[in-house]
Amino acid sequence: MMEADSKKESREDQKSDEGKEVKKKTRQDRVGVLNIYTTFNNTIMNLTDMSGRSLAKFTGGQSTKQDRLKANPTIAMFIAQKIAEEAKDNGITGFYVKVRASTGQNNPGPGTHAAIKSLTRAGFKIISIMDTTRIPRGGPKKKGGRRGRRV
């Protein structure tokens, strides 16, 4: 009987050790806003926090010195890698992506898709992608006169 009581006590001790609440640090997902401005001449990426404070800004000209390559998808991937490093330093795990093209253009520049794809490969969560391209609504008279511009 004493052996049975001692076994019960040892089991209770184990339960009390296991029953302790262990405080684990829950990692909160920090989210940032990534503004991508792509034209057919350049790619500009600006990382901000949710309040709008700029954390990092990189352009095509910082990655290459050749003007013809600034809007290249490969250069956009290099810019996205720099943005990813800055985001990891600031503890950001996800992005709201805002893509903007030149005013009046139908499509953004060639670097947009490559940049977003490289960010997902880097392990970031893309929450949403929004197109914020400005649309002209009238504006001043176009150049060329009544008969249009003749080449």
What is the per-residue pLDDT across 76-87, written as a single tens digit (0 to 9) for each?
Answer: 999 999 999 999
Q: What is the pLDDT of residue 27?
A: 61
Q: Which residues contact 87 (CB under 8 A, 6 or more apart)?
A: 32, 47, 55, 56, 95, 124
* Structure confidence at residue 150 (pLDDT): 82
Burial of 146 (0-12, 13-18, 19+ CB in 10 A): exposed
CATH homologous superfamily of domain 30-131?
Ribosomal protein S11/S14 (3.30.420.80)
Is pTM, for the whole model, over 0.75?
Answer: no
pLDDT at 20: 66
97-129 confidence digits (pLDDT tens): 999 999 888 889 899 999 999 999 999 999 999
Amino acid at 8: K
Share of the chain above pLDDT 70, in %: 82
* Residue, of 95 and 21, whose pLDDT is higher: 95
- Which sequence spans correspond to the domains of the chain? 30-131
pLDDT recorded at residue 7: 52
pLDDT tens digits along 40-59: 999 999 999 999 999 999 99
Tell me the Cα Rg of the chain: 27
pLDDT of residue 104: 84
Dist. CA 110–CA 56, nearest whole Å: 21
Q: Which of the four pLDDT bands, split at 50, 70 and 90, describes residue 14? A: low
In this prediction, residue 87 carries a pLDDT of 95
